[in-house]
Amino acid sequence: MKETLNKNWMVLYTRARWEKKVDKLLKDQNINSFCPLVKSNRQWVDRNKVVEIPLFNSYLFVKLNPFEHSKVMQTSGVVNFISHCGKPATINDTEIERIRSIVKEYSDVETVSLSSINVGDSVKVANGPFLDYKGEVYQVQGKSVVMVIENINCALTVKINPRKLYPAEQQRVF
């Protein structure tokens, strides 16, 4: 009867830096899990090394039926399922395949939180050649922020970490 139940992809929240460990523990229990990994160059004092790091910090995907929920929750390193409207959030197969394809095809992939930057925000540049220039965010695409800089009346496409921008009405605190 278990085999006839629909299995859905769900998102698990894990302990920090436990994504790969939890993925292995779940696979050892014959649970279909997916931890998207990307290659990254890491530099130490004595060497450089290419390592595989999770694309999403503290998240991984599992495909399971309702009977397997408790088994997953008992796995070391699992914190909880990500929920939406009180129910575990599900992801369709197409989205999982899209993520698989992206990490397979592209080498320079990373996630960047842009929750603090929105189109229309007035921001200042925190460092670099445009330090303290004020502008308005026109478009956000991935890690690229297109902003109109008021002082020089031009549009500037900046590939910048969102943490290098701050609200225009604030003083820089770094």
List of long-range contacts for 105-109, beta carbons under 8 Å, 24+ apart: 107/38, 107/39, 109/38, 109/55
Mean model confidence pLDDT for the chain? 81
From residue 133, alpha-carbon distances to 125, 153, 158, 169 in Å are 6, 11, 13, 12
pLDDT tens readout for residues 136-161: 887 777 666 777 665 555 555 556 66
Give the mean pLDDT of 26-42: 93
Q: Which two tokens mark 95?
A: 């989205």
Helix%, strand%, coil% for the chain, nearest 5: 20, 40, 40
Superfamily of domain 2-105: NusG, N-terminal domain (3.30.70.940)
Query: Where does CATH 2.30.30.30 sit in the chain?
Result: 122-167
Question: The pTM is what?
Answer: 0.66
Q: Which residues pair with 159 in a beta bridge?
A: 144
Q: Which two tokens mark 16?
A: 């920090």
| Rounded distance between C-alpha atoms, residue 99 and residue 84, angstroms | 20
Q: Which two tokens mark 46?
A: 């004595």
122-167 architecture in CATH?
Answer: Roll (2.30)
Give the mean pLDDT of 123-144: 73
Whether the CB-CB separation of 90 and 81 falls below 8 Å is answered with no
Query: Where does CATH 3.30.70.940 sit in the chain?
Result: 2-105
pLDDT tens readout for residues 39-75: 888 888 899 998 999 988 899 999 999 889 999 999 9
